[in-house]
Structure 1
Amino acid sequence: MSALLFCRVAAAEDWSLAQAVQRGIQVQASLQSAQALARSAADTAQASQADRLPQLSLRAGSIWTESRNGQPIFAAANGQREVIGQAVLTAPLYAPQLSALAKLAKDQSAVAKSQTQSVRLQVATTLSNAWYAVLLAQNTSALWQRVLAQDRLLYHDTRDQFRSGATARLNLVQTQLLLLQARSARAQAQEALGSVRRNLRLQLQLPAGSPVQLAPTSTLLAAPAPLPQLWQEASQRQPLLQVAQAQLHAARAQVAVQRASLAPNIDVQAAYGLDSTQVPRPQSLGWQAGITLNLPLFGFGRRHDRIAAAQEQLAALRSARRALLLQIQTRINTDYGVYQQESTRLQQDRHSLAAARAVYHMTRAGFRAGALNALNLAQADQAWVQARLALIRAQIRAQMAATQLALDVGKLP
């Protein structure tokens, strides 16, 4: 049971890229804030829809009016005391501005929802960069650990040969230097790994000190779609473009709201209860009904100026969306080129690694046979280490380029 529990815990410590992104989406405060704003905008849109429905209210009050000789002073007063108690039903019969405001609130809710998707993609980008940084540091640290073990074994063999008089002291000192350099490089790699792991732990909102180990990943990369297809896919699912399109709809609705301010409004009202200047009695209950027309006539150009301002805002958003589309296409084109370059570099680094490995093993065999000295071995060792480091960087850069292309299009990794 203890062994089974340990296996489960160890498996839970391995974070794939998809798991890290999903965890970040769940815990990142920026996304939670965007989701709350989206829910708020959705509630506002529902309230705007309800503004066009009939409203039921209760009106009650008592009015005292100053009088002389029993007669009210004000011409509008009904009596010395007026008692009102009514259930009032009001409904907009013709209210184009209310309809336009409801459409505007709905479009603004769509903007907030699209912004949530955009923030989700930003969180995924941040988590992807942090995850790949850990992957690079983890692989680099593991490589230096293997190099250290290899150089330690080489140093011990050379020390035994030196004690038996089979090799010179210079070879012993040179192999000892290789061992010291590998130990120093491993320490630096471990420090770098600890730093990027702390950053990933912060992004994942994990407790301090909790282990962050990445799951093994495949170095096989699927070729991305052709560039025109990526542009087409980005125009359909890129959240930034969806936000821009939703803002365009909201700007059109804003123009409709300003234009509706020139239209008349017609309201109807029905009330049941009492409105009496006498002592209230059951016989005082009755119905009231009315209709109200509100037609704006002159506002010193205020409404027309607001319409013009809304139209200019709409034109600005159209231009901004076209500029954003060009920016996204340019970014995809650039990242596509980066992916091709990194893929080519990855193939070249694989060939270089095979050659460096072969040179190292031949040099080591010559060193053991006494035909070559430790300086030749050190040069071959450094070349092999640099080739392995270059391959690790090339693999991760190629994976990052493929992931970045997916993010450019609007996909989560």
Structure 2
Amino acid sequence: MSGRRKRIVIVGSGVAGSILAYGLRDLPDAEVICLERASADDHSDAGTGLNVGPNAIKALRRFLPDLADLLLSASLPWKSWRISLTGGRELMNLPLSQVADNDGIRIRWSQLYALLRQPVLDHVRFGVEVTAMRYARAGEAGPIVVETIDRATGAGGVIDGVDLLVGGDGRYSRVRETFLGRPRPYFLGVCIFRLLIEQSRIDLVDDYEQWFNGPNRLLAFRVPGNGTYIAGSFPIDPDEDVPDGVKRADALRALYTPRDGAPSDQCAFLIDAICSNLADIHWARLQEAPPVFSDPGQRILLLGDAAHPMVPTLGQGATQAIEDACVAVTRLRKALHGGGDIGTALEAIEQQRRARVEFVVDFSRDATDTMLAGADPVAGSLAKTRPDFQAKLARLYRDVPAA
């Protein structure tokens, strides 16, 4: 490669953005700049927990083994998936070893961010918000120009001569909206809420479990640091926002209490925790949007939720962001180190990722069947014990990208 280094700007130091920065940080032919609107110690948008699928850990071991070891050392293993009714009847108890080659992990979002950002702190500009992005105008150093503002000082800035702009800025990506238009979301008609409590009852809740009362679902598991992550869902009108009336303690308690008896000890613990921490609950609606990875000019790359917003039913949001980043690291390193073309690398990333992502998006939507209005959670959960569903799980967890 001759001339200046290729300038790569990553918007968002979330999962995909941080992993991409990590994978490219040592290339002599690349200048990597990651812009993060949050401050270095601000985890207000990451106050819950998550499970990362076995496929993400398998991909990291294959592409970036040091990062895999780092995450495994700081998390709890995800070894099983159990489904019951809120009254206590067990419907499924699946060891992941039957459908995966390794465990997944359970971790706090804030801890995941801290772990992934630590090795790339020299490349991240915290507290910097992007105010404008564009293809370079006449007289500007292109191909891309990015305007920013420092959220602490109010000082503006310009980053020009950007050869590749990466959108790792989440489901409501400004990069995607600016260059490819705002995607039209599809709402499934399900509300989801999330809560992290600083309390654990390992005798009641430990590994990944779900409980149904009709289509109303609870999900919970323990995370490092004596915490319990809780998520709840219930059907709503797909064309409406989450009703305020359902955000009350009495309404939530009624959603998960069986009509014909008391909740199990596990669910009683979870229901009490939800009703005692209403102010800390994060509310959202299940939605997805069509996948897209790059622009026609091949100067924009989208990763993670920016590229393929999907429903979280199978816990594949962050997991697929990790798969995306692993593939992007390999393709871009090859292009940048060998003097190759960035556009060719973007084409290769999309070719390698599109079919895989479309399968995961569709499978996640299909697995939401037990959470929709009128669903039969008993029949739907029992169906997940059958060979056809578990064959899809095995494909999900085992068929990771090739290095």
TM-score between both structures, scaled by the size of structure 1: 0.24
Larger Rg computed on CA atoms: 1
